[in-house]
């Protein structure tokens, strides 16, 4: 079946612009995660949704980062007033249930470059 999809795959933004990154999780998956991956590093947790509820946003680096999942399926990560340090790959993952010890399936990521 279809995996996690993300769009756009690549995004170039000028410093100060707002961007919106979209994630389509695997159909029926309850849990959705956003991670940020800097070049040459492992992914780092940003935020977690269980259905439409954002249960953990402890990894969001600043109040310029905002995520939503209004209907419990598609999610959008928004970054306002982008800065050069925001340049990274943004990964979305989903898992079937709400327990912690289960597989998270990752999408291909959105590569964001802020000039």
Partner 1 sequence: GENVEQHPSTLSVQEGDSAVIKCTYSDSASNYFPWYKQELGKGPQLIIDIRSNVGEKKDQRIAVTLNKTAKHFSLHITETQPEDSAVYFCAYIGVTGGGNKLTFGTGTQLKVEL
Task: Give strand ranges (E) for 16-104.
Answer: 19-24, 31-37, 44-50, 53-56, 65-68, 75-79, 88-95
Q: Is 33 in the site for partner 1 (CB under 8 A)?
A: yes
Of 25, 26, 31, 75, which lies in the binding site for partner 1, with binding defined by CB under 8 A?
Answer: 31
Contact mark string toward partner 1, 48..67, x via CB under 8 A: x------xx-xx--------
Name the nearest CA neighbour of 25 among 114, 97, 80: 97
Chain Cα centroid distance, residue 109: 8
Note whether 107 binds partner 1 by CB under 8 A. yes
Q: Which is nearer to partner 1, 59 or 64 (CB)?
A: 59
Choose the stretch contacting partner 1; rule: CB under 8 A; options: 13-21, 63-71, 80-88, 94-102: 94-102
- Would you tell me which residues interact with partner 1 (CB under 8 A)? 4, 31, 33, 35, 40-45, 48, 55-56, 58-59, 91, 93, 100-109
């Amino acid at each position: 079946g279809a995996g996690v999809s993300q769009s756009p795959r690549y995004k170039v933004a000028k410093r100060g612009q707002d961007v919106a990154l979209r994630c389509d999780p695997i159909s029926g998956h309850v849990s959705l995660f956003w991670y940020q991956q800097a070049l040459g590093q492992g992914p780092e947790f940003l935020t977690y949704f269980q259905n439409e509820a954002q249960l953990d946003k402890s990894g969001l680096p600043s109040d310029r980062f905002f995520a939503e999942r209004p209907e419990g399926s598609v999610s959008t990560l928004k970054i306002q007033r982008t800065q050069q340090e925001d340049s990274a790959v943004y990964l979305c993952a989903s898992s079937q249930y709400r327990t912690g010890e289960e597989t998270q399936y990752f999408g291909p990521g959105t590569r964001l470059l802020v000039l």
